[in-house]
Amino acid sequence: MQRGANRIEVVQPSATLRVSTMAKELKREGKDVVDMSVGEPDFPTPDFIIEAAYKAMKEGKVFYTPTKGVPELIDAIVEKLRNENGIDVGAENIIVTPGAKYAIFEAMMCLLQEGDEVILLDPSWVSYEACILMAGAKPVWVPHEEGFEDAPIEDYITSNTKMIVVNTPSNPLGVVYPKEFLKKVRDLAVDKDILVMSDEIYEKIIFEGEHYSLAAMDGMLERTITINGFSKTYSMTGWRLGYAAAPEWIIKLMNRMQSHSVSHPTSFVQYAGVAALKGDQSFIKEIVEEFRARRDMIMAKLDEMGIEYAPPKGAFYIFMNVGRDSNEFCEEFLKREYVALTPGSAFGVAYKSWVRLSYATSRERIGEFLSRLERFLG
C-alpha cells in the first residue's frame, strides 16, 4: 500500500482545526454557534494598510521580489526591532516570510535534525511540536511551575538540547513571562550553547507586566531567532506576513530554503507591511483596551463559578481547567450548547483536563458564551 513520508505521517492534523471544522458544519446547518476557538482578532485590518496594498498593486509592485523580502520592509523591521525591542540587528539579520508560522517552520527545518532535542514549555502553541517533528527532532515537554510563570527547564537539558522555544506573551496561557524567567533561559542558553526561538507575535497585546525580548539580553543576539508577524497586532491573519530576525548564518540558510519553496511573501502585502510598521500605531491601544474589557468580563464570571484558570496578562486566550477529559468536554459542549472551544490536549501533554478559549469575539457573544457555560455545567 502507498503511504506518505515519515516526516508528515508523524504529525497529527491540527486539533484546533478539527473543532473549528465541526463548528463550521453546525453553523452551515443554521445553528447559533458561539465560536471561542479562533486564534485571530475580530477587528478589520486598518484602512491605511489596505490602502497601501492597493497603492502598491496600482504602482505595479506585482512581480517577484527578493527572496528575503523588499528592502523597504526589511529596513522598517530593522528600525522597529532596534527602537522597540532593543535588538541590535541589520538588514542581513532579517528574512520576511508568508506568516510567522512559516518563519518558525523554516527556521526549524534549517536548524534541527534527528537526534536534536527541543525544549517546549507545556502547554505551548500547537505548531511548534509539529514543526519539530517534521524536522526529525524530538520535542521535550517541560511542565510549568504553579502560577505558570516559571518552569524547571534546567532539569530537562541534555547534551542533545539544540533549542529552547519561548513564546511571550504565550498562546494558550496568556502568560507574559517575567524578566527573572527569561534571564534563567538566557543563562542556560549561554552557558550550554543552546539556540533560543523567541516567538513574540503577541508582544503588543499586553494588559499587565512588560514585554522583554530575549535577543536583547546579554550574549543572546548570536543565538536567538526572534519570530514576529503582522497577524495579531494589525489584524492581518489572511495576508500572511511575518518575519524572523537571527544571526546571519541562520538567515542565509532560511533564505536558501525559502528560495526553493515559497520564494517570498506576496509582493504588495510586503508594502502593506511597511505601512503597518510606519503608520499611526494608536489604534493598537484601543484594541488592547477592548481585549482587556473582555478578559475581565470572563475572569469575573469564572471566579464566580469557581473555575480554575491561568490568569492571562497578554494575548487573547484563557486556559482553564474543566476537570475532565478536554476532548470529550469540547465535543459535548459543542454538540449540546453549540460553543466551540479548543481542547488542552492540543497544546501539550500535562493539561488534558484544560481547554483554551479565545476572546477574539464581541462582548455580546462572550456574554452568550458565559451563560451557555453556566447552563452546561449545571
101 or 313: CB nearest ligand PLP: 101
Least distance (Å) between residue 275 CB and ligand PLP = 17
In degrees rounded to 5, what are phi and psi of residue 241?
Answer: -145, 125
Please give the Cα distance from 81 to 90 (Å, whole number).
10
291: contact with ligand PLP by CB under 6 A: no
Nearest to 46 by CA among 246, 265, 207, 278: 278
229: contact with ligand PLP by CB under 6 A: yes
Integer angstrom CA distances of residue 225 from 9, 24, 25, 71, 351: 27, 36, 39, 20, 27
Question: Under DSSP, is residue 65 helix (H, G, I), strand (E, B) or coil?
Answer: coil
**C-alpha cell read off for 255:** 533564505
Residue among 20, 65, 93, 167 that touches ligand PLP (CB under 6 A): 167
Residue among 45, 67, 235, 237 that touches ligand PLP (CB under 6 A): 237
The footprint of ligand PLP on residues 30-49 (CB under 6 A) is 39
Sequence-ordered alpha helix ranges (H) in 126-247: 126-134, 179-192
Please give the Cα distance from 2 to 132 (Å, whole number).
25
Residue among 41, 69, 99, 265 that touches ligand PLP (CB under 6 A): 99
Q: Which stretch binds ligand PLP (CB under 6 A): 27-35, 75-83, 93-101, 133-141?
A: 93-101
Please give the Cα distance from 86 to 214 (Å, whole number).
10
Please give the Cα distance from 234 to 239 (Å, whole number).
10
242 or 314: CB nearest ligand PLP: 242
Least distance (Å) between residue 199 CB and ligand PLP = 5
161: contact with ligand PLP by CB under 6 A: no
Residue among 242, 265, 314, 343 that touches ligand PLP (CB under 6 A): 242
Least distance (Å) between residue 9 CB and ligand PLP = 23
Sequence-ordered alpha helix ranges (H) in 140-247: 179-192
* Overall residue count recorded for the chain in this entry: 378
Residue among 45, 161, 171, 361 that touches ligand PLP (CB under 6 A): 171
Secondary-structure percent of the chain, ordered helix, strand, coil, rounded to 5:
45, 15, 40
Please give the Cα distance from 219 to 189 (Å, whole number).
9
70 or 197: CB nearest ligand PLP: 197
**C-alpha cell read off for 196:** 533560543
Least distance (Å) between residue 291 CB and ligand PLP = 14
Residue 10 C-alpha from the chain's centroid: 22
Q: How many residues bind ligand PLP (CB under 6 A)?
A: 13
270: contact with ligand PLP by CB under 6 A: no
231: contact with ligand PLP by CB under 6 A: yes
Binding mask 105-144 for ligand PLP (x = CB under 6 A): --------------------x-------------------
Q: Which parts of this chain interact with ligand PLP (CB under 6 A)?
A: 39, 99-101, 125, 167, 171, 199, 201, 229, 231, 237, 242
